[in-house]
Structure 1
Amino acid sequence: MKTNIALIIIFFSIIIHASVEFLTGVIESTKLNGEGCICHNITADSTVKVWVEGPDSLFTGATGSYKIYLTGGPSVFGGFNVASRFGSLDTADTNVIKLLGELTHKNPLAFVNDTVFWSFDYTAPDSVIVDTIYSVANSVNGDSIPTELDKWNFGENFPVKVIQRPSEIEEDITTPEIFVLEQNYPNPFNPSTIIEWQIKRSGFVSLKIFDSEGKETAVLIEGYKSEGKYLSVFNGKDFSSGVYYCRLIVDGRQLTRKMLLIK
């Protein structure tokens, strides 16, 4: 009798622990340092698809925006765990929390269609390396009891190439009274960004884009302009990721802003 009671207590303890673990998220379950969501099911399920999307290259110390997606399985609620080997992770979603350097769900996320996702940020280390973002996610039936009816799978390892920042041409941030060049937005951008500028008297205007080596890559404006505020768009769809410079020249005086294209 005592043995049966002990077994019952252990059984319910396991269920309660697993349920709380799910409700508050789970870490150390990716291929980096874990064996998956084995509290729900011992083996991964190939019908569950998990993947990460975001920039596959970043400059040293730069931050990129990423998403982890989940589809398949019971598709009632979903949870996840993301880890990286060298870079740092941070939350970019109210339903994402950071625990011991890894990311997981704060609460189970309900499916509204066949796919759910969570947003997060990744900051590259200061070393030139190829880092890896690891992921795992589970799709559960929502009965709060971890069983083989719940399904999970690992995501494909997501490599991030960390590139050394190139030598930079000088960025002039002194604003003459006769004209203004605002910082482009968004920045970083992909593929397009807006450049806002203003001239306070009419004159000859040149607005050009240069790469990190100082080579001219695009001419946005070149000609006579009346005083006023202007918006110009730079489309980088045909350019590679990297640092670019926007230079505004008015009557021989210039302003330069640094821009970052990340694909």
Structure 2
Amino acid sequence: MKTNLLLLSVFVTIIIYANINYQHGINGMTLRDGGTGCICHDLDPTDSVMVWIEGPDTVYLNDTADYKIYISGGPAVVGGFNVATYFSIIDATDTLTQILSDELTHNRPKQFLNDTVFWDFSYIAPDSLVADTLYATGNSTNNDSIPTSIDQWNHAQNFVVHVLDKPVFVNDIIFQPDEFVLHQNYPNPFNPSTMIAFSIIESGLVSLLVYDALGNQISTLVDEHKSAGTYEVEFNSEFTLKDLASGVYFYQLKFGSFVQSKKMLLIK
């Protein structure tokens, strides 16, 4: 009899603790460090609950970007979540979220609207060039204050954020050009970076793009309105979304009907 009472007491304590913990936020639940998920509700994740993150997949060094985490499916009455990352800082953007041990979570369950609930948060990129990852876990419950298997949860697909260096522009007018020119890059061959200069004789929208030998665009160096003048921009082969092999690459300048391309050689 005493054993049964002890087991019952432990069970009730676990339920009360889990409920209080969930009501005020959760952390350590994501796949970042092998977290087990919301097992106080159910031992296993379920595909009937979808959890995902939306936001930019590239962010410049030390910049701040806005993201959302979504939960859909399950009992879909109220939901909670946990977001973690390795290298960056994630921060709450409103009173509905909070930081617990450097991870983001709700501070109270939020009601679903049309089978979906979401929260906003901000991502502050680190000061080093990395491929960072956002990890997330979401819980969909029936809001009866009892964490049971009726409630359902799932992990989000890992969201990779590429942290890149900001392009370096030299925007001072060196001289007033009298023709459109795309200059040869220097140095050439190069590794890992090279400078590309161009001249435009009037104001307008300018684009300077880099392509591989197959014609795939690999970098956008300029895509904005500029005044007449001569400009330089740095292309760094290490600050692209994929590793570049040694070989021939092309850069192309477009200004209205003016289009000019040149070759450059990367040698590692």
What's the % identity of the aligned pairs? 44
Instruction: Quote the residue 1:24 is aligned against.
Output: 24
- Runs (5+) with no aligned partner, structure 2: 173-194, 206-218, 229-268
Residue by residue over 1:46-91, the C-alpha shift from the partner in whole angstroms, topping out at 9 and shown as x without a partner, is: 0111100001001111110000001000000100000001111001
Partner of 2:167: 166
Q: By how many angstroms is 1:248 displaced?
A: 7.0
1:69-148 correspondence runs (5 A): 69-148=70-149
**Residues 62 and 48 from structure 1, CA distance in 2 versus in 1: closer, same or farther, beyond 3 angstroms?**
same
Is the aligned partner of 1:6 residue 2:14? Answer: no
The verdict on how the C-alpha distance between 1:219 and 1:149 changes in structure 2, with shifts beyond 3 A counting, is farther
Unaligned stretches of 5+ in structure 1? 172-211, 222-239, 250-263
Q: Kindly provide the amino acid, as one letter, of the partner of residue 95 in structure 2.
A: T
SS class of match (2:123): strand
> How far did 1:126 drift?
1.1
C-alpha distance in 2 between matches for 1:3 and 1:106: 36
Instruction: Identify the residue that residue 51 of structure 1 maps to in structure 2.
Output: 52
Q: SS at the partner of 1:14? A: helix
TM-score normalised by length of structure 1: 0.67
CA 1:243 to 1:128, structure 2 compared with 1: closer, same or farther past 3 Å? farther
Provide TM-score, normalisation by structure 2. Answer: 0.65
* Structure 1: distance between partners of 2:150 and 2:160: 32
Task: Quote the offset at 1:247 in angstroms.
Answer: 5.9
Q: RMSD of aligned C-alpha atoms?
A: 2.9
Contact map agreement 1:168 1:213 (CA 8 A) in 2:
no
Distance 1:136 1:241 in 2: 34
Q: Which amino acid aligns with 2:48?
A: T
How many aligned positions are there?
A: 195
Which residue identity lines up with residue 46 of structure 1 in the other structure? D
| Shift in alpha-carbon separation, 1:241–1:149, aligned structure 2, 3 A | farther
Cα distance in 2 for partners of 1:113, 1:136 equals 20
For 1:180, the equivalent position in structure 2 comes to: none
